[in-house]
């Protein structure tokens, strides 16, 4: 019987088994690195974790959709939920520079945004939104949290009429991204 593991679960002592795929050790204990199932190989004395789904790390050129988890002065951090239209369970994060985007509020925390992966550097996944199709797909009013409608490059709150700016995707207001789930 194999059981589900979560990242950081202790799965063995190092005297018993060595860390195989998707596992790591601290010189004492072996830990799971990912969500999956334990596999023990008694011959090689290794313990590994297999996934149902491969851990999804987006590659350069991939189009990702995710939720913004942090907005800093010159960049945003995004938890990736879709890679090329496919739902991903691993929710890896990428960062995207907003330095050259002339908008009052490029994007807000919890906005849904579409980005293109441009590189991996020191373990960080970098993305960009310098294409009309890239940018915010879903956002809310910064003042009242109400729903907004697009007015050319700006957005207007339907609750309080606050007008604001985002770096909108040409797909803004088109909720098709939700249907990508299957
Ligand atoms: Zn509002």
Compute, in angstroms, the gap from residue 164 CA to the centroid of ligand 1: 10
Compute, in angstroms, the gap from residue 168 CA to the centroid of ligand 1: 18
**What phi and psi, each to the nearest 5 degrees, are found at residue 129?**
-130, 30
Q: Is residue 177 domain-resident?
A: no
What's 87's domain CATH number?
2.40.50.140
What's 8's domain CATH number?
2.40.50.100
Highest mean pLDDT, choosing among 2-11, 69-78, 117-126: 69-78
Q: Place 178 in a pLDDT band, splitting at 50, 70 and 90.
A: low
Give the residue numbers spanning the domain of 44: 4-50
Same domain (yes/no): 73, 161: yes
Compute, in angstroms, the gap from residue 123 CA to the centroid of ligand 1: 38
Compute, in angstroms, the gap from residue 39 CA to the centroid of ligand 1: 52
Out of 76-80, 143-147, 151-155, least confident range: 151-155
- Residues 6 or more apart in contact with residue 37 via CB below 8 angstroms: 2, 3, 4, 5, 49, 50, 52
Q: Total structural domains in the chain?
A: 2
Compute, in angstroms, the gap from residue 141 CA to the centroid of ligand 1: 5
Q: Is residue 131 domain-resident?
A: yes
Q: Measure the CA dihedral 94/7/49/83, to 10°.
A: -20
Compute, in angstroms, the gap from residue 113 CA to the centroid of ligand 1: 20
Compute, in angstroms, the gap from residue 65 CA to the centroid of ligand 1: 25
Tell me what pLDDT residue 135 has.
96
């Amino acid at each position: 019987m194999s059981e589900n593991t979560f990242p950081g679960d202790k799965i063995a002592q190092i005297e018993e088994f060595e860390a195989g795929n998707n596992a790591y050790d601290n010189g004492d204990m072996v830990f799971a690195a990912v969500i999956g199932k334990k596999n023990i190989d008694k011959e090689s004395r290794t313990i590994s974790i297999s996934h149902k789904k491969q851990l999804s790390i987006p590659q350069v050129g991939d189009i990702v959709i995710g939720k913004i988890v942090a907005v800093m002065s010159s960049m945003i951090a995004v938890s990736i939920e879709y890679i090329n239209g496919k739902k991903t369970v691993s929710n890896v994060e990428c960062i995207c520079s907003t330095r050259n985007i002339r908008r009052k509020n490029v994007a807000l925390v919890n906005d849904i945004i579409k980005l293109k992966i441009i590189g991996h550097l020191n373990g960080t996944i970098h993305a960009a939104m310098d294409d009309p199709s890239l940018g915010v797909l879903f956002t809310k009013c910064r003042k009242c949290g109400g729903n907004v409608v697009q007015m050319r490059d700006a957005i207007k709150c339907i609750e309080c009429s606050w007008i604001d700016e985002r770096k909108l995707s040409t797909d803004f207001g088109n909720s098709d991204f939700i249907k990508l789930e299957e």
